[in-house]
Amino acid sequence: MEKFIQFLINGIAIGSIYALMTVGYSLVYSIMNFSNFAHGGVIMLGSYFGFFAITILKAPFWLAALIAMTGTTLLAVVIERLAYDPLRRRQAPSLYYIISAMGISIFLENIVLATLGADFRNYPPLFQTSGFYIGGISIGKLDVLILVVGTISLFGLMWLIEKTKIGLAIRATSFNLRAANLMGVNTEFVIFVVFGLGGLLAGLAGVMYGLRYTVWPQMGLITNKAFVAAVFGGLGSLPGAIVGAISLGIIEAMATGYISSNLRDLIAFVLLVTILVVRPSGIMGKATEDKA
């Protein structure tokens, strides 16, 4: 039983990071009906921003996270303005957005490879490796930090969406962008805010992932799992994205502990295929025309 609880805690911790990644996908999809695969590149750069802020600027953790989040917020907004806004104005099909997003992802990855190289970089040990022990269960201080920061960030986002005027505008736009525009909602500003929020959380996710694991140019590929989590929970559903991400983290932890770490990724993508076959809308997803 102690072993099960240990794996459960580890799974919730990594699932919290996945959740920070996943909500960026879900927010953009809820508004624009396409999967923003460039989000992985933004997360990767957020991890690098945090790493260099700590190692070169000697910034404390909170300042490094703030620098990373600021950088990725600006990057996400710039990507939207340069790559997606022209397509939206021409009313291009969703396929064009996906191709553009994939191109941006490859561009960001290769820019980092060309300038910084392919070396793996490890964050300095900012937190003691020792943790807390409850019976035979070990809870690492970094896991506690990830859980606390992830929980606060995600609840803050949910509060913003559910309790504020801009949140109401986001929900209205996600239901029907054209109708919201006709009703006086500034949909251009809503899209700007959505990409900014996605970029903000991408920076935080990048720093957290770098702290727990490592940083490398191809780490944006790890966000494929965030896409799996978004589909599992239901594309376009913010609560579904969070539930899907936490569930995926737990499934991976259990697979690593009870089966094999080599099969962890295989299980994740088998899960994706299964969900697409059995329930394409995901656990909490809704039909496209009713996804708000």
Amino acid at 13: A
The answer to whether 115 touches 238, Cβ cutoff 8 Å, is: no
Of 48, 74, 38, residue with least CA distance to 200: 74
**Whole-number pLDDT of residue 292:** 38
Answer whether residue 282 shows pLDDT above 90.
Answer: no
Q: Is 215 helix (H, G, I), strand (E, B) or coil?
A: strand
pLDDT at 285: 62
CA distance 187 to 176: 10
Query: Looking at the chain, how many residues does it have?
Result: 292
Which element (helix H / strand E) includes 101? helix 94-116
Confidence of residue 260 (pLDDT cuts 50, 70, 90): confident
Predicted pLDDT at 130:
60
pLDDT confidence band for 137 (50 / 70 / 90): confident
State how far the Cα of 251 lies from the Cα of 84, in Å rounded to an integer. Answer: 34
pTM: 0.88
Instruction: Name the band, by pLDDT with cuts 50, 70 and 90, for residue 188.
Output: very high
Strands in the chain per DSSP E: 131-134, 137-140
What's the CA gap between 62 and 127, in Å, rounded?
A: 13
Mean per-residue pLDDT over the chain, rounded: 86
pLDDT score recorded for residue 125: 83
Q: How far is CA 207 from CA 48, 62, 82, 150, 260, in A?
A: 8, 10, 25, 12, 27
- The domains of the chain are located at 2-220
The pLDDT of residue 291 is 45
Q: Is the model more confident about 286 or about 70?
A: 70
Secondary structure (3-state) at 131:
strand
| H helix count then E strand count, the chain | 12, 2
> Which tokens go with 131?
């943790």
